[in-house]
Structure 1
Amino acid sequence: MKKSNSTYSILVLALAFVLLGTFSSQAQVLNQPVPADNPNLAGNSAWTAVCASSGFNEYFVNFTWDPPMVGGDNKFILELSDSDGYFADPTELAVVTDKNTTFDFEFQFELPEDMRGANFKMRVRSTSPAKTSPASEAFSMYFIDYNSPLLISENGSGSIPSGGQIQICGGGSVTLKPHNIPNADTYIYNWYRSGTLLAEKSESITVSDSGMYYVELDYGDCSGSANTLSNTIEITTGTSSGLAINGASNIEVCPGETYLLEANITGMGLTYTWYKDGTIISGPTVDGSTYTVDAGITGFEGSYEVEVDGAGVCKELSAPVTVSSSGSYEITLNNAESIVLLPSQSKTLSVATTATSASYQWFKDGSAITDATNNTLDINEVGEYYVEVTENGGPCTPAPMTSATTTVVSPDSFEFVVDYVSSYTSCESTDATLSLTTINAVSENGATTDVTGDLQSSFNYQWKLNGADIPGENSKTITISSQEGNGNYSLFGSLDTFDSTSNSLQVRLASNETLTITTNGTVLCEGGEAIVLSSATDLTNESFEWKKDGAVVSSSSESLTVSETGVYQLVITTNECPLVSNEITITEFDESLLVLDKTQDLIIIEGETKTLTASGAGSYEWYDAGNNLISSSSYYDFNEEGEYLLIATFGTCTVSRVITVTYRDMFAIPNVITTNGDGINDLWVLPNTYSRDPNVLVTIFNERGEQVFSQAGYENNWPQSTTSFNRQNMIFYYKITRGGKSLKQGTITVIK
């Protein structure tokens, strides 16, 4: 059977959509980036490693990709892995935004200054669509931030040995370390012995074998261009001469005496250097094989060593000898440096010592106290007291040692200091604890002595609020837990004939009450019901303020009518502290708060039901064309044509939406009619959507483009009885418009 032209056109169009869908299903292909030549340098070869520095840091990679096209807002991003080749936290090297129609281009990048490693990889990521290329091969990439020759010395001391030689005696060792590079521990090193690369990679190396030692920074494939190769130190070995210091390894010297240290190798014209606690104290001196320790000098105790050097011997350091003081002992005064002595009161001073056979002599104001020769002393007078302790046993007779001085004073008055001892914030805390923290004894000249530990349990106490006694509060601590206790607190104390009153502390506690304000709405709209803020708390005898955004807007009206958007609160001042209400936020009404899950113009098939659901409002009312309320739910089921009204309520505001429901046409625009007068398909009949609508214009043209028919509100009456067709299968063209906008167009085949 022969297909009509219109059927053929439909098949061709369908095939085009299939082909288009196949093409659209393809995805972009991002290829791995590869090193590229630097167009700003001579030569024509891509880099094989990145050896960047402050003097040069310009590199290029080539990137290619395949269509379909990326989005117009797409970005191509060149990313760098970590030094192990992983992209868990990639580094962004470059971003390109103007190559969305270029399938082959170069990224230019600089290597970040903290990058060092041999296994870096790169990849390219696109943003629209979001895709990632395969990773590149692994490359060495180093930013050479230090490119000067290193200098090495023993232990990094900075002292390079004469001739660059260090001799090791008797199987000893020496540590070599660079001393001229900052942050030395952040680098990796290549250590060499006589040209052989060693396994050590740290900043220092401890060696015991002879050889020529030097080092460079390990910059991988970039090491040669960094120019960090160090000086060379030659390590030689020799036989130990058995150097030692004569005598015992632990020596005690009596105070004031001397002791001679002597090396066991002498008389060979050798050079000697003496050390105490690792620091040179004598030498180097030719034939200086002895050193005198003077116990009469403070700090003589320590660890002593001697180093020998010269022709015929291996330079070496002796084992240490410890020198300490014989007969030394310690004394400790068991009393405070200051003591307050009240009238008719006595105190006991005491001393402790490590002396094995001690004798004592107490002093007052610099003079010895008769018969005061025990380790304790009872006192009842003011003055300055100390004790001399003498060691009477052991090999030495050391000079007496004097204790610290205790000053005993008689107070002219006492000073109390009270403070908050809990976390307290004025008008925020709901309780506060105050306590006596310090008792100072005040002398005639105004000097103060802290006697808290001695006397805090001796005073009688009374807390006062605003100057009046608080019944029952007679300890050194008080806790306030209600606003009724707000005020100024002080502590009074008495001891014998002394009275003292502390500083004053203000307590302002917050109320335990909750202040709540309410409102009849939170959305402000023109013409809507007034929004009124109020509180259930009686404000008649209260001092209060209404605030908007922190600023006072009223302090007289017990309720507040809102005319502006903002954040509102009520503040009552009670017991000198503010009581703050909850916040109520008033916003400008926004009609977009009403959300419909379908368009307001519903098209349904006659006999079916379609549900329209609204959300966002507080309540809803649905009305039909006769203004009859048909539902108060958030949704309505429509099954008849017509116009409906939805009124949504937001507090004091409302939003109206007109819903139009029409039936869907169940047949398409015909493209063939037969004018044979049999009453079947004689007229070109349009669906209801386009017929009998005065706003819709139907125009028909012949095959030469000449208009043959035009009618607004088409009555399904073409061809008219006067229309004649002079041949079989004539083709006409139609165009349907509304307000000048094209709705439909196509062909009509007329068969006679």
Structure 2
Amino acid sequence: MKNLTAYITLLFVFAFIKNSNAQIVISKPNLGFSQACASDSFNTYNVTFTFSPETDLTSSNQFIIELSDETGSFTSTTAIYTSAAGSVTTSPATLNFSFPNTIAGEAYKLRIRSTSPVATSTGSNAFAAYFKYQDEPFTINNLISTAVYCPGESYILTIDNPGAPSNNSPLQYPSLTFNWYKETSETTSVFVASGESLEVSESGTYFVETNYGSCTSNSYSNRVDVSQSGSGTSTSISSSLGNPFCSGNGPTTLNAISGNTYKWYKDGEEISGATEQMYVTSESGFYEVEIDLGSCMESASIELNSVGFTSSIDVPENNTLEEGETLTATVTTDAINPTFAWYRNDSIISGALNNSYEATETGNYKVVITQNSGCSSSDELIFNITEPFPNVANIPNIISPNGDGINDTWIIPQEYVSGTNTEVFIISAHGETVLQTNNYLNNWPQNQLDFKSINPVYYYIIKTENNRTKKGSITVIK
């Protein structure tokens, strides 16, 4: 019995000594990637390694993936993966893991460490690793494509902040850094500086990218053309909802470049109280702004369209129809899913629902185009159709406006009537101008003349587009 007890004790001692002396060798990790460009949408990587002898692993062993700092030093490591105890028992082994969102550098390394027995591999090959918090285009300079600085001064380009659904500003992520560039051609650029803003004192086109090192990304800004005042380059005004914009979605914000003071105008008229860098509006029009840059002034403008789409019609505003003729009017539009409604003399034309209409009658016509998808808005185009003007040979000097339908109005040759851009003046015997038009419709006098004398006399002056002039008198008789 004593011999059996001694034998068992020796077995336990032998096993203890064997385990105490157990050791394994872990190979240099083999990376399953060349660089790590992680993000919220992708952060799964793998590493493969070998170890031996397999039999020296204990059931409690865990393999740990350790990450160096951005220079490849393991002086202070980060454990980014730990296997379950006893889960990895055969070599080679592949472990899947994710990087922490603090990575940002070009020379990281990984190594593998075991816990039982304790062993550590050498470091892997160096690799670039970045966590891309923001990976989409963003805006600078309030999305204004131009900027101007006064001679001897500079202009500050900044990344727009705070972020919004339409502008996921990278400034929302404090750990990110930025690199500014100046274009040298349509396809090349040079690094200028790092930072959240850039002071520019040299004309050129500038943009900024989020610094993700050698990782490619979509985190870059719009281009801004910066020039010196007086160089002939004009500045622009941006519209937050684009141009044209959909007024049905609310007002748009007009933005000017940075300056000291501002004065806004609409269609040539100063807008009372509009003295800020931004102006909010829902109306179409020609907008201008005067900007005080300090030692110089600058101006900018925009032709703002609030319809949300454009449309045109292929007939002139004024048309004539001979008896038996027709006129086909066709609308061209970039409206999304448009509908059409045609009107004659303000009455809707039943069944006229297409983008073209064949008119057979005289009258005042219009077509209303409605965009029914995206921006719900409408546009209206007009034209008219009249009977042809009589083709008389001479300018008459007598009319008899008595309502009998004969010689009731002053009818002149077609070369002087509407559509020829001829100016027609009619002046009374007392020197009073009773008609002045460059769109004469053979309709004078439109109203009953007040006779204060028998057969009053009027005088006409006809000036053609090529400066030929006709003069004469018109006697009005009953």
Quick check: which one's strand share is greater?
A: 1
TM range (shorter): 0.3 to 0.5
When normalised by structure 1's length, the TM-score is 0.27
When normalised by structure 2's length, the TM-score is 0.42
Q: Which has the larger radius of gyration?
A: 1
